[in-house]
Structure 1
Amino acid sequence: MSNLHIFFGEILGTALLILLGGGVCAAVTLKKSKAQGAGWTAIAFGWGFAVMVAAYVSNSLSGAELNPAVTLAIAVKSGQWGHVPLYFAGQMIGAVIGAVLVWLAYLGQFQANEEPTLGIFATGPEIDHPVQNLVTEIIGTFVLCILILVDGLNTQLALSGTGILIVAFTVVGIGFSLGGPTGYAINPARDLGPRIVHSLLPIPHKGGSNWRYAWVPVVGPLIGAALAGLLYKALF
């Protein structure tokens, strides 16, 4: 893979991830949306399908990492760090683009908004306890990353594309099992990029962007990813 393929593949894939994932959050949350009130099941499956679409589209370009935590876990596993900044840059740019596209897709609903909208763009804890919230993000991301690393052991899964489907359903499972406390960012770019966009967009009554919490969904996933990479090296 060339540097251009990696960079633009991660931009495209992460933009699709955030468009479809943030889109389901907007659909469930905003008034005048036909899916308003559809609930957590719709959100969990929506994010899983978002991962599936984004990964299938970008896999041949960049390997569809789409997540700085996944990139870190793979680098810890392989010892190859040269492309890590390129992956991170593409993922952050893609996340910003995806968040803007969510806003454009629901522009009328956002213009009619009367409630805080941060939950459409970024995650937040149900109980504001930084240590617990950090641990939750570490655990959730560890599950995702160790699955991805082990998934990579089976070349037949990779060749058939079934591995991507397994990862997508794992994201759904994490959402159901571990998403309740924090909204399961499990991806620093997924949270930070859209949070920046939320802070800048002219959305009526949007509320604050909760920058005091913003470090948790960045640091927690990176720790979880590093632990997954280290455990993989020790056991597999």
Structure 2
Amino acid sequence: MSEFLAELIGTMILVILGDGVVGAVNLKKSKAEGAGWVVIAIGWGLAVALGVYAVGNVSGAHINPAVTLGFAANGEFPWEKVPLYISAQMIGAIIGAVIVFFQYLPHWKATDDKDAKLAVFATDPAIKSTPANLVSEIIGTFILVMGLLFIGANEFTEGLNPAIVGLLIVAIGMSLGGPTGYAINPARDLGPRIAHAFLPIFGKRDSNWIYAWIPVVGPSIGGVYGAVFYNAIFVGEISGLFWIMSIVVAVILIVALVNELNQHTKMKSSNRSSKNEAM
């Protein structure tokens, strides 16, 4: 099996089981309807674990462009292979989403909630705030890549590593997934979002392309920063990219904070105006 095919199949498995568990919980008349966030987090963790088990010995099972970019940024992966891996991941994600569509074929018509249908394929923030949403995806993916490097630095019983990676995904989902649904993977979000756009899903809404860049840019920044941060702090190899990414992330954090403070100020002013009008 080629590395291209391995990344395609690994990402396809990831999306089939990951989007599949969201479909099971969200779609009407599913036997798992309403099972909740914990089931989704565990489902995604197991999805990642199985994807890694499937192709880890062939391609290293990145199954995530943010991981590929991060590993390339810290020198663990050749840059010339990055386009090959990301292309395979995107194709695998689209195929996986199409399979999920067929798995729940009668449930699309049974489900009136258009947002719930889109959520099977792609993420959406709980509170829409562009800078804060971007920060959430950066932090989640930063922890993902750092966690992968932590795991790789330790010796485990043969075959246990993928299971530990799955637990890492569960931990991120439960602890950090609330604000944006923790895409932490550009292919996992963009591929299925593309599938949602072209699939004949009964009563679907638009694919929310206005938000679509955040689950791509945020994880990409977080993945690269997680890798160069690990190298700088744990390995002692401080690169120019580390300083560049530190500045980029610091600016984004400041912008997000200022935006939230401005929103709070506007809300207080609006409340005061309403009280004055009422008097």
Tell me the TM-score normalised to structure 2 length: 0.80
Residue of structure 2 equivalent to 1:231? 229
Pairwise CA distance, 1:206: 1.2
Distance in 1 (CA, whole Å) between partners of 2:150 and 2:45 is 19
Aligned-residue Cα RMSD (Å) equals: 1.2
Could you say which residue in structure 1 is the equivalent of 2:212?
214
2:35 pairs, out of 38, 42, 45, with: 38
Tell me what 1:199 maps to: 197
**Conserved? CA contact 2:13–2:51, under 8 Å:** yes
Does 1:78 pair with 2:75?
yes
Is the partner of 1:181 in helix, strand or coil? coil
The answer to whether the 8 A contact 1:113-1:203 is kept is: no
TM-superposed CA distance for 1:151, in Å, is 1.9
Structure 2: runs of 5 or more not aligned: 236-279
- Following the alignment from structure 1 to structure 2, what is the Cα–Cα distance between the partners of residues 125 and 112? 24
Which of these residues, 167, 184, 193, is aligned with residue 186 of structure 1?
Answer: 184
Contact kept? 1:68, 1:222, Cα under 8 Å: yes
* SS of equivalent residue, structure 2 residue 201: coil
Give the structure, 1 or 2, with the largest relative contact order (CA under 8 Å, sep 6 or more).
Answer: 1
Paired position in structure 2 for 1:20: 17
Name the residue aligned to 2:144: 144
CA distance in 2, matches of 1:7, 1:73: 18
Helix, strand or coil at the partner of 1:180:
coil
Report the counterpart of residue 103 of structure 1 in structure 2: 101
- Equivalent residue number for residue 135 of structure 1: 135
Counterpart residue identity of residue 72, structure 1? L
SS in structure 1 at match of 2:43:
helix
Contact 2:50/2:162, CA 8 A, preserved across alignment: no
Q: CA deviation at 1:208?
A: 1.4
SS at match of 1:160: coil
Structure 2 CA distance for aligned equivalents of residues 231 and 7 of structure 1: 28
Which residue number corresponds to residue 120 of structure 1? Answer: 120
Answer yes or no: is 1:153 the counterpart of 2:150.
Answer: no
1:92 Cα deviation (Å)? 0.2
- Which one has a bigger Cα radius of gyration? 2
Q: Secondary structure at the match of 1:161?
A: coil
Deviations 1:178-228, CA, capped at 9 Å, x for gaps: 100000000000000000000111111111111000000000000001111
Aligned partner letter, 2:139: I
TM-score, normalised via structure 1 length: 0.95
1:78, distance to aligned residue in structure 2 (A): 1.3
Q: Which amino acid aligns with 1:107?
A: L
**2:57 alignment counterpart:** 60
**Deviation string for 1:41-61 (max 9, x for gaps)?**
110000000001111011112
Structure 1's consecutive aligned runs of 4 or more residues displaced over 3 angstroms after TM superposition are none
Corresponding residue SS for 1:173: helix
Q: Tell me, which stretches of 5 or more residues in structure 1 are unaligned?
A: none
In the TM superposition, what is the alpha-carbon distance from 1:165 to its structure 2 partner? 1.3
Letter of the structure 2 residue corresponding to residue 165 of structure 1: A
Q: Distance in 2 between matches of 1:232 and 1:115?
A: 42
CA contact 2:109–2:203 (8 Å) conserved in 1: no
> CA shift at 1:86, angstroms?
0.7
| Structure 1 residue 229 displacement after superposition | 1.4
